Amino acid sequence: MKYNDMELLRRKVAHLHNDNYSTIAPPIQITNGIPQVMVLKGSYREMGFQYGAKLAYKLYSVLTITRAAVLEAHGEKTVMKDMKTIEYLVEKYDPDFRLWIEGVQAGCASKGVDFTLYDFLIAEVYGGERWARPEGKYPEELGFDNSPAGPNIPHPQCNAFAAAGEATKDGEVIVGISGSNSDETPDRVILICYPDNEPYFICFGAIVSPFCQIGMTSAGFTWTCTANFSPVDCDWGIFPEIMDHYFTTKCKTPQDAQEFLKLIPRVGAVGNLITTDLAGNISVTETNSDHYNIRRPGDAGEEGNYVVSTNHFAAKDTLEWNIPEYALWQNDSKCRFATVSKFLAKAIEDGGIDYESIRKMMRSDDWYDPETNEWHTNEPESMKGYNLLEYTHQAIMHPSDMTAYFMLGTASGTGTPAGSMGEFVKMQILEDPFEMLETMRNETFLIDFYEARAFYRKVLNSSESLQKDYATQEALEGLLDKAYVAYECALNRQAHAILCRHDGGAECDYLEILSEALSYMAESQLYSKKLIAQLECFGIKKPGGYNYFGAY
């Protein structure tokens, strides 16, 4: 969207904001720290339309930020050549992604928000285009001359891991990621898709690139990807966000993803790919523009049946592939790799890796130095541990029962974006979206809310200081109130979804209302879990093993 279109858009959305602004720019969209849930169904274009219609104003806000930043960094002439190159590569390697974008465009247009394909591609590949733009040749078929070099400032902070078999408490596969696409685009969406005649899937990405950085499909395939470094002068190729779309929508096995990654020209932050299947096969495919290697548990010094990936080549026989110019960032990456590996090894010693041990690791500000074999405690400023300011999202997935945990913001809840709570939304992804909502309803109210309320009463009854501290009581009860208000909103949306389906409403309307119900359930869970976390600070043991369903 061009600058001259702003006043028109402002008039169209004025009713949403009580006309409370005084400049030509449209109202600001703020991230609130609670991930939105979107359930989509149909062809890729149909799902794109549903997505764009629901998130039009949020998308416009992010597209404005990314377009402004990239044009400022590289200039319009260079950016247009870059985006035409990406368009060409999309059509060559993943044409369904083009259909998705066209659907998003049409959905946004239905709400009065117009943007070009190139506007959307800028936002989609924003991180790589701004901080890791290649300075090599464009594809020969396009006939473009090389553009001048622009800013090339590495921005890699990602931790990922997978474990299976004897390394996990239940013997099943578990996969996790903490990542940062950009502090300017912190909003995240939980995307659940039911494409025509293909496995359904879930992923957790940025509003403008919802398919990045982790995905899980009903075919039993799960993947996650962290950035790596390529030489500055590498030729143009596929950016991670487009590659991620292909992994989630087209791959049914680790081999499918590995073969695609080997086939494509890789560029920017591509990338170390973790893949798993239900048989417990886990691996990391380490790549950049020049190199490709598959490693398995133990190849990079792991102390059990798990793999770790951060932002460098970690296998013993690939260390020489790391680019010397990026040594500073790679040293941080090596420390984070060692820190994650030590945490996972300790969890195995304590009975096996599970959700709780991973959550503890993600919240820690300690880090391990592989050079000195020493732990450094309470150093959040180091950039060498796990709980980094840059980690705007976390996810954990259990493929065996399609259960997933999602968090928007840092794992401690301190930092970006505003409102992040340091707690996970839990969902089980099922073939029937309504059954998925019912399952989440039980988890949200009959487990999380019940436990939060019981714990609060126990702490209040046990703590004389809290009994005299009415301000703290009000703050704690406020969290419980917010949890129930969100749950009540979810019930309202659930009822409307039922009536929409019963009365023959359009399926897209039904799914949109259902998505709102799931989003409110997510919000309720977060407030209940935040209250429980606050109550744990009083040092009083959590109530022992009872919720609505009885003893557990």
Average pLDDT of span 18-45: 77
pLDDT tens for 122-161 read 999 888 888 888 889 999 999 998 876 665 666 668 999 9
Q: What is the pLDDT of residue 126?
A: 87
Q: Are residues 191 and 328 in the same domain?
A: yes
> Which has the minimum average pLDDT: 228-237, 428-437, 478-487?
228-237
541 pLDDT more than 90: no
546 pLDDT more than 60: no
Question: Does residue 245 form part of some domain?
Answer: yes
Q: Which residues contact 531 (CB under 8 A, 6 or more apart)?
A: 452, 455, 456, 476, 479, 480, 483
Question: Does residue 74 form part of some domain?
Answer: no
Q: Which residues contact 245 (CB under 8 A, 6 or more apart)?
A: 94, 96, 97, 100, 211
**What is the DSSP pairing of strand 201-206 with strand 393-398?**
unpaired
Q: Are residues 289 and 213 in the same domain?
A: yes
Beta bridge partners of 547: 550
Q: Are residues 424 and 471 in the same domain?
A: no
Query: 327, 315, 328, 335: which is closest to 375 by C-alpha?
Result: 335
More confident residue, 128 or 250: 250
Q: Which residues contact 389 (CB under 8 A, 6 or more apart)?
A: 410, 415, 416
DSSP label at residue 14: G
Report the alpha-carbon distance of residue 483 to residue 435 in Å, rounded.
22
Question: Domain of 11?
Answer: 1-30
DSSP label at residue 235: P
Question: Does residue 42 form part of some domain?
Answer: no
Q: What is the pLDDT of residue 184?
A: 66
* Virtual torsion, Cα 109, 112, 115, 117, nearest 10 deg: -10
More confident residue, 36 or 232: 36
Q: What is the pLDDT of residue 27?
A: 63
Report the alpha-carbon distance of residue 397 to residue 312 in Å, rounded.
23
Amino acid at 2: K
Q: Are residues 443 and 406 in the same domain?
A: no
Question: Does residue 268 form part of some domain?
Answer: yes
More confident residue, 464 or 20: 464
pLDDT tens for 79-103 read 999 999 999 999 999 999 999 999 9
Q: Are residues 351 and 456 in the same domain?
A: no
Element (H, E) at 494: helix 470-502
Question: Does residue 72 form part of some domain?
Answer: no
> Which has the minimum average pLDDT: 16-25, 42-51, 317-326, 423-432?
16-25
Average pLDDT of span 277-306: 97
Question: Does residue 403 form part of some domain?
Answer: yes
Q: Give the pLDDT band of residue 552 (cuts 50, 70, 90).
A: very low
Count up the domains in the chain and report the number.
3
Mean residue pLDDT of the chain comes to 91
Write the CATH number for 545: 1.20.140
Positive or negative: CA dihedral 167, 169, 174, 180: negative
Write the CATH number for 396: 3.60.60.10
Question: Does residue 379 form part of some domain?
Answer: yes
Q: Are residues 378 and 514 in the same domain?
A: no
CB 282 within 8 A of CB 163: yes
Q: Are residues 179 and 299 in the same domain?
A: yes
CA atoms within 13 A on the CB side of 223: 33
216 pLDDT more than 80: yes
Q: Are residues 226 and 288 in the same domain?
A: yes
Q: Which residues contact 32 (CB under 8 A, 6 or more apart)?
A: 417, 418, 419
Q: Give the pLDDT band of residue 111 (cuts 50, 70, 90).
A: very high
pLDDT tens for 395-419 read 999 999 999 999 998 888 887 788 8
Q: Are residues 419 and 440 in the same domain?
A: no
Q: Are residues 465 and 317 in the same domain?
A: no
495 pLDDT more than 70: yes
More confident residue, 345 or 68: 345
Positive or negative: CA dihedral 315, 317, 320, 323: negative
Q: What is the pLDDT of residue 390?
A: 79
Q: Are residues 231 and 368 in the same domain?
A: yes
CB 398 within 8 A of CB 174: yes
- In this structure, what token pair is assigned to residue 57? 């104003």
Helix, strand, or coil (residue 214): strand
545 pLDDT more than 70: no
> Omega of the bond prior to 154 within 30 degrees of 0, cis?
no
Q: Are residues 458 and 326 in the same domain?
A: no
CB 146 within 8 A of CB 130: no
Q: What is the pLDDT of residue 137?
A: 93
Output the pTM of the full model. Answer: 0.93
355 pLDDT more than 50: yes
Which of 387, 413, 428 is where one domain is finished?
428
Helix, strand, or coil (residue 137): coil
Question: Does residue 115 form part of some domain?
Answer: no
